[in-house]
Structure 1
């Protein structure tokens, strides 16, 4: 199983909500619509093909993602780009909810 991309570790002064808000602002400036989500343990998304490109970001918890048959594990600080029309599925792993967001650009 491959690890997803890891964001650089934030400096102590940058930790928390400020990091999240700055990242959201940067993505929105690039034309993405950003949606925050909290996924309960056991949540599953069956295979589907998003119509638009998207970026998935995880802030806490673990999310197992299958993209065109390749399994990835996203944990805190990880992100991935999913091109439009690519088959993907996902599942929350463990007892901790996943806090994250997705950014979609048409």
Structure 2
């Protein structure tokens, strides 16, 4: 286990001891890869951690290379995987994160 301190905009930063469960990132590359996010010089990084106490920490970073902008940081402490899915949503990058973390993101229909 490791101690992490995560930056959060407009809220206190989050410090905890735990482990990185999964991460996923889009690309700022100019439409060369399948991970291209549509904007040159910008990309998103998603990380999911689990604390030694069993909670989940969600962290999203909107990165930029642009001179006139700054990186954006958001995060949430979650008790359940349902809260994790509420934070990250269901877009393609979130689904990559869930796949790496072995989290089912499905609706079962009879």
Return the TM-score normalized by structure 1: 0.26
Looking at both structures, which has the greater relative contact order when contacts are Cα pairs under 8 Å and sequence separation is at least 6?
A: 1
Return the TM-score normalized by structure 2: 0.26
Larger radius of gyration: 2
Q: Which has the higher strand share?
A: 1
